[in-house]
């Protein structure tokens, strides 16, 4: 799971409609501009949010600042109409106003978070109301449903990646052979992959299930399957089994460390956060 870190910038993908948290504007952010979901636009900085720890007197939490203009933050609208709408507003300076902008991130499932106001029991919620390109977003009481689940996708990290891919194997496709058994690392099944699919060793075959790509991500080094490069080698934390899982939003369980053995292209592979060795 990706931890939300102060100083990093993210896109937030809605579980319920598959679109991104977005400021609905054709120009630049301004006070009370509506916040919605919208299809991915990789060049639109109104879909990128810088998370910054902030405190002022007795209040503290995280601000979600627009990367289109850091002067504006995600906000709870409390006007006479459209109460509890999600909008953006100039970053608050008073304790009272900050309570409408400071948030906490509540870990949910599969790398998703609920985004909660730090000083109210209200969560950022995708509604059924259609807007241009997506749906309206509001602050609502806990529903327990997917309408309040958001997946952070790192756009920029102020931290150095935890690990790096060795230059000799970076961005190359290869088999991974266990030295002791002389068998290859293999995604179980007939060249198909899904979350929590077992990873085994098997006699060498010319198939995608045995071919891997080592890539550098913002979080660190990962091993992706050529069956579908959205999936990376992963640790199933309840039993330490080696499985496959969607790489995005799952950094804690899929960032690897490659320890050299002193022999060419021979490594010990370690799940970095758990310090567990592939064996």
State the DSSP string of the chain.
-PPP-TT-EEEEEETTTS-EEEE--SS---TTEEEEEE---TT-GGG-EEEEEEEETTEEEEEEEESS-TTEEEEE--SSSSTTBEEEEEPP-SHHHHTTT-EEEEE-STT-EEEEETTSS-EEEEEEEEETTEEEEEEE----SGGG-EEEEEEE-SSPPS----TTTBT-EE--B-TTT--EEEESSSS---TT-BEEEES--SSGGG-EEEEE-SS-EEEEESS-TTEEEEEETTTTEEEEEESTT-HHHH-EEEEE-SSTT-EEEEETTTTEE--
Give residue 161's pLDDT.
74
pLDDT tens string, the chain, 279 residues long: the values are: 467 989 989 999 999 999 999 999 988 999 999 999 999 988 889 999 999 999 999 999 999 999 999 999 999 999 889 999 999 999 999 999 999 999 999 999 888 999 999 999 999 999 999 999 999 999 999 999 999 999 998 887 666 677 899 999 999 999 999 999 999 999 999 999 999 999 999 999 999 999 999 999 888 999 999 999 999 999 998 899 999 999 887 888 999 999 999 998 999 999 998 899 999
Radius of gyration of the chain (CA): 21
Give residue 2's pLDDT.
61
- The answer to whether 138 and 123 are in contact (CB under 8 A) is no
- Cα distances from 212 to residues 3, 28, 174, 204, in angstroms, run 26, 42, 5, 13
| CA–CA gap between residue 99 and residue 178 (Å, rounded) | 55
Residues 3, 213, 259, 183: is their CA dihedral positive or negative? positive
Give residue 218's pLDDT.
81
């Amino acid at each position: 799971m990706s931890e939300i870190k102060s100083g990093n910038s993210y896109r937030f993908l809605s579980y319920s409609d598959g679109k991104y948290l977005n400021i609905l504007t054709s120009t630049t952010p301004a006070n009370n501009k509506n916040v919605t979901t919208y299809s991915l636009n990789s060049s639109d900085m109104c879909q990128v949010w810088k998370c910054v720890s902030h405190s002022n007197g007795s209040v503290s939490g995280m601000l979600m600042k627009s990367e289109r203009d850091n002067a504006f933050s995600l906000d709870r609208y409390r006007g006479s109409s459209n109460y509890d709408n999600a909008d953006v507003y100039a970053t608050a300076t008073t304790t009272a106003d900050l309570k409408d902008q400071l948030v906490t991130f509540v870990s949910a499932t599969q790398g998703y978070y609920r985004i909660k106001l730090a000083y109210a029991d209200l969560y950022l919620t995708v509604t059924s109301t259609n807007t241009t390109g997506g749906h309206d977003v509001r602050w609502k009481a806990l529903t327990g449903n997917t309408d309040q689940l958001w997946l952070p996708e790192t756009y920029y990290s102020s931290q150095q990646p935890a690990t790096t891919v060795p230059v000799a194997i970076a961005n190359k496709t290869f088999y991974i052979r266990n030295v002791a058994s002389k068998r290859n690392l293999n995604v179980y099944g007939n060249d198909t992959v899904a979350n929590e699919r077992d990873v085994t060793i098997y006699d060498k075959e010319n198939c995608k299930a045995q071919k891997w790509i080592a890539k550098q991500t913002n979080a660190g080094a990962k091993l992706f399957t050529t069956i579908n490069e959205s999936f990376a080698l992963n640790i199933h934390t309840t039993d330490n089994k080696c499985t496959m899982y969607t790489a995005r939003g799952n950094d804690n369980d899929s960032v690897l460390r490659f320890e050299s053995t002193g022999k060419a292209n021979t490594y010990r592979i370690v799940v970095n956060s758990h310090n567990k060795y592939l064996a």
